[in-house]
Amino acid sequence: MNDIAQQLAMMSRRELLKTASVGFGYLAFAGLSTQAAAREAGPLAARAPHFAPRAKRVIFLCMQGGPSHVDTFDYKPKLQANDGKEASSTTFGGTGRARYGKLLGPQAKFRQRGESGLWISDLFPEVAKHADDLCLLRGMHTDVPAHSQAFLQMHTGTSRFVRPSLGSWALYGLGTENANLPGFISLNPPSGQGGAQNYGSAFLPAVYQGTPIRGRGMQGAGAAPTSQVPNIANPQLSELAQRRQLDFIQELNQSKRAQEEHLANSQVDGVISSYELAFRMQDTVPEVMNLAGETSATQAAYGLENRETATFGRQCLLARRFLEAGVRFVEVCQTGWDQHRNLKDGLAKQSGAVDQPIAALLADLKQRDLLKDTLVIWGGEFGRTPVAQGADGRGHNNLGYTMWMAGGGVRSGLSYGETDEYGREAIDGRVHIHDLHATILHLLGFDHKQLTYRYAGRDFRLTDVHGNVVKDILV
Amino acid sequence: MQKFHYPLAIILGLFCLLESAMAAEPSPAKPPQDAARIRQFDRNQDRQLSFEEFEEFASRIPRLKGRPEAVAFLFELHDADGSGQLDRKELQELRSSAQQSASPAGRSRSFGPDTSVRRNPLRLTIPKNKKQGKTNQQKPKSTKQKAKQPTIKAAEVEAERMSQAEQPPVKLTEQQLAFFESKIRPVLADRCYGCHSSEAKQLRAGLMLDSRDAILLGGSSGPAVVVSSEDGVVHGDAEASPLIQALRGDYYDQMPPSGKLSSQTIADFERWVAMGAPDPREGEPVPVEETPESTIDIEAGKQHWAFQLPEGVKPPSVADKSWPSTDIDRFLLAKMEVAGLKPVGDASRGALLRRVSFDLTGLPPSVEEIEAFLSDPDSTPIAFEKVVDRLLDSPAFGERWGRHWLDVARYGESSGREANIFYPFAWRYRDYVIDAFNADKPFDEFLREQIAGDLLPASNNTEKAEQTIATGFLALGAKSHSERDPRQYVLDVADEQLDAVSRGMLGLTVACARCHDHKFDPIPQTDYYALAGILASTETLSGGVRGRQVRQANGLVELPESVEAATGEPLSPKEIDQLYDQLDNLDQAIQRVGNGPDARRMRIGIEMRQANVRQKISYYHEDGSPRDFAMGVRDGDVLDIPLFVRGELKRPSDVVPRGFLQVLQQSSDPEISTGSGRRELAEWIASERNPLTARVMANRVWLHLFGRGLVTTPDNFGATGEPPSHPELLDHLAIEFVESGWSVKELVRQIVLSRAYQLDSTMSFEGHEIDPDNEFVWRHPARRLEAEAIRDAILSASGTIDLQRPVGSFVAKIGDGQVRALDNAAVQRAKQLQRAKAMARRTGNNRMQRNRNAMFPVPEAEPTPTYRAVYLPIIRDRLDESLAAFDFPDPSLVAGQRETTTVPSQSLFLMNSELVIEQAVAMAERLAEVSSSTSERIDLAFQWTLSRSPRADESRAARTFLKEFSRIDQDKQGNKNKQGNQTSAWSAFCQSLFATAEFREIP
């Protein structure tokens, strides 16, 4: 990036902070985004964070439903040994007479992997080959053992209020490196579990909202390589003609803004920038989403040729292409990790669908030298109970579970934190979802307490009044 | 042609006879062979059966012997053309009706006023052992009254259970006992229990064979044996019993899978079933777990604001006496004054008209309406009142406000979840809702009908039908039709219904208490099961055809005759022919399947399609006129159910008597005496004595008119919801609402006539500084139009909108089946077209294509429907793109408030989608028809889209655009667009107006 652009970027940031401190934060953006020049270097322009970042981009492999940690990444020999035994409060080191049901041993064999010797179960044989790149967070915990609340909290820090998503904060902080693509993309987001709030910008300007990409074209082995985004091309107009049309639309929109003078509403601004982005996306998206340029070896590595892995593999490959093209934050979602019943088969099916694609993604990022500044995050909204639900299932567990990270400035081959010997509750190296958010922002170069947005007379931040950076996992 | 209107039960009964008769033929009764067997009675080989030939056939059926009237009835019923002969088609109908009750797909609960009650699967979960529960129930009352729904002990239940059990108690003779012990029990224990008992590691098909009750209840295919009793003598029907069929390998997968039993053993089982399946096994007692102790303090919980009855407060006095025009304004202004806020100015007449038109009808005002209002010499309040009354009277009002309720009612026309099957009759509920809002049906009555319409008195058939359709509310939620275990299914359906009822009508998240006490609200787990018992005692009739992925299919309600309101679309003779052609084709296809590796899968697929087509045929009379089915509920096998520890089916605890929420308990609550208790539940909810119901609705109405509720969590008035910003105002509205006779129209009227509603939408610096969220309503913020309104507004501007209500729904045209079939059909159709083209090239014959097309019973997608968006099919997980693009809520969930996003996919939709481009062309043509003057056209276009004339700068910009665009307009290949640049430029101009920020805004 040249100096002028950088200056412009810094200025807009200063501008933002200045006006933000007197309220009317979004109006600063409104003003900028209306200037022709600021269209290219406005609120989305790439900018420097508080300090040198270790990660420049993020891919969040979101496992909706609460994947079982005790069957995958949290090795509990004692749980195995006591399979089938009744568990009571005393089992988990408490007092009282509460009965919890029968302990259920891990559903797959755990082995030590790589030089680091991390314990990973046979449900993830391919990811396990990258053990030395992983940083397991085995002391995760969150507030509520209910899907939509925990899912929202994982994305926005809270389920009680409508708040910006993690990806929106990252984009707000860093801007984007490719103005022709959305800076924050969510592939196949679930429509439930809080829906659009999970990629919403809430009170942040609408430009920071995630762009969901859905569609049947994303799924299955035989999906067409392009046109996954509906309506990405106009059937009739040339680019020139459509640009002229768009200019007219924007002229009318500007005229509306002018009517409201300094008191414009952010919705008009959101509309204006959504058209500009959409127009540019028409060129860029089909190009990025066209997998034809990927070698058949790469496609095979991501599992595109197998029914089981094709859907998630395609999304992982798309995610890599988006990241490479300069998208700041990509989320890829796999639903269906809620094994109240049918645990053994269900887990095998779920992990079978994602294991190979994730391993391929890690290998691919590494090979392209992107892993060093790309933060990969894997995990769900909570984990599952060591005690059985029914004969072949597990309940929700928010007290202790595992997520993992790789790349972008986290120590590799590390297991951080612990649950008790059955995997029920995090007891050491505890990482709350707020701490995770603080750490992610830290890796992106932000002090989570300083990355704020003034709204309704208050400085809001992702971590609210909580959050501690987990220093021990930083390189 | 004479039409028969025998009671359906009789017809079905006869079909059952016929079915078992046909199955009783010596050779095993495989459906495809039935036709051949019927035809063997065709003596003169004219491929028709005369009455004599049919009599001959019937005489071979033992149960039709000596019943000439039944034989004659069957003949006449199927002799649709009255020719005195049953021709090919009529025989096919006969066969398919018989199969429908014979095949696994058809054995589902049949349609219509069939009053036989299905045994409640949850009976199996009721603890039977006489173990005394824990004694702490008798603890002296502490000063703090703890949550204590009295629970009935197992022993007391037993007596009641026996009295309710429909199966006659069986006395076994010595002989029968000996037979069972020596021939049957060992085989069951040895070969079946592994997968079909309470001890099974993984229960298969939801079927248990380890007690008499369990066998009679059966699994996902219904009862395992069919037993009836006549004059006190119990006998069974071996041929019709799935257990026997599975042992033989007929219809079902061969059981046991490890290898067929010897023919001697199978014969023993047949004999045993014929005896009435005498069985001494009472079943192992289900262990009763202790009900987890509740720590909820109900008395303390009652203090929450929403659990106290609304209190009427006099409107506060305000400093600025001139501003308020209604009490609503006084409540609002008083708070503003305290906060140091001032309301902004009033909206212009133009903005106000656009606002109120969209808010009340979802449609923009017409040019004439704009002119009339702008030039009305009356003062604005008087002129506005006239407008409001006109809009309230418009049928479009119900389409707008009905849709708001449909969001809450999680209305959808397919089941969602894994199987995602179509609900072809859901649309009746949609129309009912729209009609109710148009008729201003009192809201309490509206709620009562949705919960218990089938149980309410009706003065005529039309009313009865309406009330029945209303219960579709309970039946059309998202469901897992693929669930194997009928007990789990009943619990899950009840849970989904309870969630919709409690969040939709009461603003309470009761479903949170399924696995444990509610974490935040004073709702103990016992309360959940008290309510769930009411719904579990209710049969939910949501239709469906049983098949591979559809294990729970439940039949429908047939409406009483002569209903004017709810007629479906008839089939043309051509469409009827097509259905029969499909059956023929599928028959042929099944012959062609052969024995390849995929044969079984393919056969199942084809059989499924056959079943769907047959089902569709059964939805119509012979002449193609529709039979009036609806989704709905009826009281079933009434039962108090146990509390399930952690919500787990296998952990039943004490039985909880059906009842309501303790925290809302009052002495005036209705008591459940007979029936499921739904009627009482309806009374309890739709009552002014319920502190939540009126408030929740008043808040919903406010939300839709201001974009923000007084309570900002419209579906959650509990502890985790937000408290009201204006509690006194909310109570005021709720009380007025009830006093007006629960008139929604009156409530809407009251609110829109307030000055607050008529405020301008502009910002003020002071206002934003103090209250950026506009909690105090110091302005009337602009809102994004809903998806439906955007679509309707586009169609209105283009002049293509058809304001007539379409009959039925696209989904009704499809009939039964899985939503996936839409994709498959599209893919297959494309492939066939290719193949047929290739073949036509070679042979000049395209018969192939026609025939094959007919195999896929899915209609082509409709051309762009021009009816209002509220009538678009709402298929779960497959929403129309024009709805999905603009935040249509997930139709599986109660959604009191929609999201508003601004994302590039919306821009792409408006820039590039077929619909928008097509409509822009239509609007350009309409403009050309009306005027040839550029400035007139520009002015009209603005009126049609933005309800106002263009400003000078806009006019200029438009002219420049039109000129320039014509110059540069060329297609992608660089060719100048031939078909008149003018039209093309005007379409681009119209499309631009659809795309503006203002177009999608309610000012």
B785-843 pLDDT tens trace: 999 999 999 999 999 999 999 989 989 988 898 887 776 666 555 565 666 666 666 66
- Mean pLDDT across the stretch B913-926? 95
pLDDT score, position A96: 65
Across the interface, of B201, B202, B903, the residue whose CB is closest to A211 is B903
Query: Hey, what are B890's tokens?
Result: 């997930």
> B145 falls in which pLDDT band (50, 70, 90)?
very low
- Mean pLDDT across the stretch B714-736? 94
Nearest residue of chain B to residue A277 (CA atoms):
B904
- Mean pLDDT across the stretch B189-208? 80
pLDDT score, position B113: 33
> B34 falls in which pLDDT band (50, 70, 90)?
very low
pLDDT score, position B319: 95
Across the interface, of A245, A267, A389, the residue whose CB is closest to B997 is A267
Strand pairing report for A329-334 and A184-187:
parallel
pLDDT score, position B219: 74
Rounded CA separation B472/B450 (Å)? 7
Q: Domain residue spans in chain B?
A: 8-18+908-1002, 174-275, 331-345+691-779, 415-557+634-688, 568-627
pLDDT score, position B945: 98
| B interface test, pick of A252, A261, A277 with most B CB neighbours within 10 Å | A252
- A148-152, B41-45, B612-616, B663-667, range with the lowest pLDDT: B41-45
CB contact under 8 A, B899 and A392: no
Query: Hey, what are B986's tokens?
Result: 């005007």
When the pLDDT of each residue in chain A is averaged and rounded to a whole number, the result is 83
In chain A, which residues have their Cβ closer than 8 Å to the Cβ of B512?
146
Q: What phi, psi does B736 have (nearest 5°)? A: -60, -40
Percent of chain B's residues with pLDDT above 90: 45
Rounded to a whole number of angstroms, the distance from the CA of B401 to the nearest CA of chain A is 24
ipTM: 0.78
More confident residue, B650 or A256: A256
Highest mean pLDDT among A15-24, A149-158, A223-232, B477-486: A149-158
pLDDT score, position B825: 62
Nearest residue of chain B to residue A342 (CA atoms):
B202
| A interface test, pick of B515, B905, B976 with most A CB neighbours within 10 Å | B905
pLDDT score, position B772: 81
Percent of chain B's residues with pLDDT above 70: 79
Please give the single-letter amino acid code of residue B964.
Answer: E
Alpha helices in A86-162 (DSSP H): 125-128, 147-156
CB contact under 8 A, A231 and B908: yes
Residue B563 pLDDT more than 50?
yes
In chain B, which residues have their Cβ closer than 8 Å to the Cβ of A282?
908, 912
CB pairs under 8 A between A and B: 180
Per-residue model confidence as pLDDT tens digits over B417-473: 778 899 999 999 999 999 999 999 999 999 999 999 999 999 988 899 999 999 999
Strand pairing report for B642-644 and A426-428:
unpaired
In chain B, which residues have their Cβ closer than 8 Å to the Cβ of A272?
997
CB contact under 8 A, A231 and B512: no
Residue A282 pLDDT more than 80?
yes
pLDDT score, position A131: 96
Closest CA to B813 of B425, B547, B554: B425
- A195-199, A323-327, B566-570, B630-634, range with the lowest pLDDT: B566-570
Rounded to a whole number of angstroms, the distance from the CA of A57 to the nearest CA of chain B is 21
In chain B, which residues have their Cβ closer than 8 Å to the Cβ of A286?
none
- Mean pLDDT across the stretch B141-169? 42
pLDDT score, position A53: 92
Residue B286 pLDDT more than 90?
no
Across the interface, of A229, A244, A268, the residue whose CB is closest to B997 is A268
CB contact under 8 A, B954 and A252: yes
Rounded to a whole number of angstroms, the distance from the CA of B659 to the nearest CA of chain A is 26
pLDDT score, position B564: 61
Residue length, chain A? 475
Nearest residue of chain A to residue B773 (CA atoms):
A456
Rounded CA separation B31/B637 (Å)? 32
CB contact under 8 A, A160 and B720: yes
Side-chain-side CA neighbours of B252 within 13 Å: the count stands at: 24
pLDDT score, position A192: 72
Nearest residue of chain B to residue A246 (CA atoms):
B992
pLDDT score, position A371: 96
CB contact under 8 A, B202 and A392: yes
pLDDT score, position A165: 94
pLDDT score, position B860: 55
Tell me, what DSSP letter sits at residue A115? T
pLDDT score, position B235: 78
Residue B215 pLDDT more than 80?
yes
- A299-308, A322-331, B49-58, B927-936, range with the lowest pLDDT: B49-58
Rounded CA separation B489/B551 (Å)? 10
Nearest residue of chain B to residue A184 (CA atoms):
B903
Cα-Cα end-to-end distance for chain A:
27
CB contact under 8 A, B911 and A242: yes
Query: Hey, what are B972's tokens?
Result: 């992608």
A332 exposure class (CB count in 10 Å sphere: 0-12, 13-18, 19+):
buried
| Dihedral, CA of residue B915, residue B919, residue B922 and residue B924, to nearest 10 | -130
CB contact under 8 A, B907 and A457: no
More confident residue, B6 or B480: B480
Rounded to a whole number of angstroms, the distance from the CA of A342 to the nearest CA of chain B is 9
CB contact under 8 A, A252 and B992: yes
In chain A, which residues have their Cβ closer than 8 Å to the Cβ of B650?
390-391
CB contact under 8 A, B912 and A200: no
Highest mean pLDDT among A451-455, B804-808, B885-889: B804-808
Per-residue model confidence as pLDDT tens digits over A209-261: 888 887 654 443 344 433 357 788 888 888 899 999 999 999 999 999 888 75
Residue A28 pLDDT more than 70?
no
pLDDT score, position B231: 65
In chain B, which residues have their Cβ closer than 8 Å to the Cβ of A101?
646
Q: Is residue B281 helix, strand or coil?
A: coil
Cβ proximity of B290 and B133 under 8 Å: yes
In chain B, which residues have their Cβ closer than 8 Å to the Cβ of A251?
957, 961
Rounded CA separation A416/A403 (Å)? 10
Cβ proximity of B559 and B630 under 8 Å: yes
> B573 falls in which pLDDT band (50, 70, 90)?
confident
Q: What phi, psi does B720 have (nearest 5°)? A: -90, -5
Q: Domain residue spans in chain A?
A: 47-228+290-473
pLDDT score, position B230: 67
In chain A, which residues have their Cβ closer than 8 Å to the Cβ of B1000?
271
CB contact under 8 A, A256 and B996: yes
CA B122 to chain centre: 23
Per-residue model confidence as pLDDT tens digits over B239-255: 878 898 889 877 677 88
CB contact under 8 A, A390 and B782: no
- Mean pLDDT across the stretch B383-390? 98
CB contact under 8 A, A263 and B903: no
> B978 falls in which pLDDT band (50, 70, 90)?
low
In chain A, which residues have their Cβ closer than 8 Å to the Cβ of B881?
230-231
> B176 falls in which pLDDT band (50, 70, 90)?
confident
> B850 falls in which pLDDT band (50, 70, 90)?
very low
| B interface test, pick of A227, A274, A283 with most B CB neighbours within 10 Å | A274
Across the interface, of B772, B971, B989, the residue whose CB is closest to A456 is B772
- B157-171, B190-204, B704-718, B953-967, range with the lowest pLDDT: B157-171
Q: What phi, psi does A460 have (nearest 5°)? A: -95, 150
Per CATH, domain A47-228+290-473 is 1.10.260.40 = no
CB contact under 8 A, A235 and B958: no
Please give the single-letter amino acid code of residue B987.
Answer: S
B501 CB-near residues (< 8 Å, 6+ apart) = B451, B474, B681, B685
Cβ proximity of B78 and B54 under 8 Å: no
Nearest residue of chain A to residue B969 (CA atoms):
A241
Residue B12 pLDDT more than 50?
no
Nearest residue of chain B to residue A144 (CA atoms):
B519
Across the interface, of A196, A242, A457, the residue whose CB is closest to B887 is A196
CB contact under 8 A, A263 and B764: yes
What's the farthest any 2 CA atoms get from each other in chain B?
102
Rounded CA separation A369/A366 (Å)? 5
CB contact under 8 A, A267 and B913: no
> B26 falls in which pLDDT band (50, 70, 90)?
very low
- A197-201, A230-234, B40-44, B582-586, range with the lowest pLDDT: B40-44
When the pLDDT of each residue in chain B is averaged and rounded to a whole number, the result is 82
Question: What string of DSSP letters covers B231-278?
Answer: TTEEEE-TTT-HHHHHHHTSSSPPSSTT-PPPHHHHHHHHHHHHTT--
> B977 falls in which pLDDT band (50, 70, 90)?
low
Q: Is residue B8 helix, strand or coil?
A: helix
Q: Which long-range contacts (CB under 8 A, 24 or more apart) does B382-391 make?
A: B383/B349, B384/B352, B384/B356, B384/B753, B384/B758, B385/B753, B387/B353, B387/B356, B388/B356, B388/B360, B388/B749, B388/B752, B388/B753, B389/B749, B391/B356, B391/B357, B391/B360, B391/B361
CB contact under 8 A, A245 and B988: yes
CB contact under 8 A, A195 and B996: no
More confident residue, B888 or B870: B870
